[in-house]
Amino acid sequence: MKKLALNGLTAVFTITLGACSTFAPQVDMPEKTTVQQPVPQPAQLAMAAPTGSLYSPASYRPLFEDQRARFLGDTLTIQILEQINAAQTNSMNASRSDSASIDVPLIQGFFGSRDLKAISGSASSEKDFSGQGSSKAANTLTGTITVSVAGVLPNGNLQVVGEKQIGTNRDVEYLKFSGVVNPITILPGNIVPSTKVADARIEYRGKGALDSATAMGWLSRFFLTVLPF
């Protein structure tokens, strides 16, 4: 009996902690928010190795060229301009009808003294089918996020990734972005529209009281998953 009561108290305590964590989310803030010197990567160390020349491929910038992002750690501003509208309408109609009739007149004296009575009959069938369906979806997402160059492909394209977290009161909003940018599409000011980014991955989510209020409860999700109807 004591063990059962202890298990019950543990379950209640766990649910209470889960509820508290849901309604009071925290921003994933690093321990140090000041500018830190990044740890050099092996490829960067190889490029920065002394060669006895004033030229260094790790820090070379052409004199008569704008400061476009091209190296690891450079930043780009992504203008998120995503708008998707989709509509689909389907309809189908089919019909089929068949009919057959038979009419045999009276035949006398054919079977001796017995007469063959007249036979008549008819049969008909008809089938109709009608189906109609429609669907419509509209999604719009606008905003800006600054991302960092995480890799440079052999053809010069840039692999970018970035994340933004905004915490207000008891809600936290997450915006994550990743993709491949062609340097030709970079506008002045290192700005790139999201429609020009290949393999774009955009995630915008919220966590907090509003998200919990609009989410289906765990018991409802359980019955929705288990029940076959």
For residue 5, pLDDT over 80 is answered with no
The size of the chain, in residues, is 229
Report strand pairing: 75-104 vs 191-193. parallel
For residue 215, pLDDT over 70 is answered with yes
List the domain boundaries for the chain. 70-84+137-220
For residue 43, pLDDT over 70 is answered with no
Mean pLDDT of the chain: 76
> Cβ distance 63 to 103 under 8 Å?
no
Mean pLDDT in residue range 23-35: 58
Determine what percent of the chain is predicted with pLDDT higher than 70: 62
Token reading at 113: 């003294």
pLDDT attached to residue 96: 84
Contacts of 158 (CB under 8 A, 6+ apart): 69, 70, 74, 76, 149, 151, 152, 180, 181, 183
pLDDT attached to residue 34: 52
- The more confidently predicted of residues 67 and 106 is 67
Mean pLDDT in residue range 77-100: 87
44-63 pLDDT, tens digit per residue, is 555 556 666 666 665 666 66
Mean pLDDT in residue range 81-107: 82
For the entire predicted model, the pTM comes to 0.58
